Amino acid sequence: MEAIMRNFFQFLARNKRVNKWAAKYGLHLGAQKFVAGLSIEQAITQVRLLYEDGRAATLDHLGEFVRSEAEARQSAYMCLKALEAIAEANVPSHLSVKLTSLGLDISDDLCFEQMCHILNKASEHRIFVRIDMEDYAHCQQAIDLFKRLRKMYDGVGLVLQAYLYRTEQDLRDLGQISANLRLVKGAYKESPEVAFPKKADVDKNYLKIIKQHLLNGHYTAVASHDEQIIHQVKEFVREKEIKRDQFEFQMLFGIREDMQKKLASEGYTVRVYVPYGKDWFGYYMRRLAERPANVWFVMKNWMK
């Protein structure tokens, strides 16, 4: 049953028509729990609340199905607006971006150009920009583009996903350019030809790559809500005397707030991923796919 629901939500996340339909309406169906708002102003309000509570943030302007050059440029413009809003509010926030929303499916050069606009503005305000990792089909392109950008900018990082077989090798390669990486388990539906189908194998690989990147002395953002993983990372950094300014924990807005607060109170850097924007539906469906139990939460909202 859980697998069917997972597939159903993954299907909805990718369905352009439903996404476009949902974008016409405000935040609904319980999405407010996971999405900070429709506008940058609403998102900044949430970032400020997190900051007052000892947590940092990374803002993500949600955008799916970018197919034209004009749409890619519009997405980049929204990122520039977000950078200006962060600088103006003077809050500790990074920016997270998705390359497909910046035109990766149209051309590498168009996407590279948009990233340069974003990184120029980000450098001006000393704001770090993280490139999210999307599905396997875009993985190599994202890595290549990141390497090009990393030669020009310091304040840019990438995400690698533990469920992919290739990640261990990618981690080694990117270690050579001291890449600042966010490490995650992986959120997309992938085939067993490219990704570990069993959760136990993903978890094992996840811990392995986290340890490898930390031991190599590179900055590591451990982005997970998995208590076991977090506990083992805490033990590992203590044992190996890895300084707290070499890593941080990251979690998603609205998920495991208790753990976010606890880690922050223990003196760890905790960064919350704060998504906002009218294209909220695909992001929300991916969160439901990760944990179909969230559906009960949705049903309760529908019935209210």
Binding residues for FAD: 133, 161, 185-187, 199, 224-225
Nearest to 162 by CA among 229, 104, 215, 251: 229
Q: Widest CA span of the chain, in angstroms?
A: 53
Does the annotation mark 6 as catalytic? no
Q: Which residues bind ligand FDA (CB under 6 A)?
A: 132-133, 159, 161, 184-188, 223-226, 250-252, 255-256, 273, 287, 290-291, 294
Q: How far is the CB of 247 from ligand FDA (least distance, A)?
A: 13
**Residue positions forming the annotated binding site for substrate:** 98, 286-287
Does the annotation mark 226 as catalytic? no
The residue annotated as part of the active site, out of 55, 130, 170, 182, is 182
The residue annotated as part of the active site, out of 132, 170, 203, 279, is 132
**Cβ pair 210, 233 in contact under 8 A:** yes
Nearer to ligand FDA, 117 or 256 (CB): 256
Q: Show the tokens assigned to 252.
A: 């998603």
Q: Show the tokens assigned to 77.
A: 């413009």
**Could you write out the three-class secondary structure of 219-239?**
CEEEECCCHHHHHHHHHHHHH
- Cα–Cα distance measured from residue 231 to residue 219, given in angstroms and rounded to the nearest whole number: 18
Nearer to ligand FDA, 63 or 186 (CB): 186
Q: Show the tokens assigned to 291.
A: 């944990």
Q: Give Cβ neighbours of residue 124 (< 8 Å, ≥ 6 apart).
A: none
**Cβ pair 274, 251 in contact under 8 A:** no
**Cβ pair 72, 110 in contact under 8 A:** yes
Strands annotated E in 104-244: 129-131, 156-161, 181-184, 220-223
Q: Other CB atoms closer than 10 Å to residue 171's CB: what's the count?
A: 21
**Residue positions forming the annotated binding site:** 98, 133, 161, 185-187, 199, 224-225, 286-287
Q: How far is the CB of 30 from ligand FDA (least distance, A)?
A: 11
Q: How far is the CB of 241 from ligand FDA (least distance, A)?
A: 25
**Cβ pair 266, 231 in contact under 8 A:** no
Nearer to ligand FDA, 22 or 69 (CB): 22
Q: Which residues are catalytic?
A: 132, 182
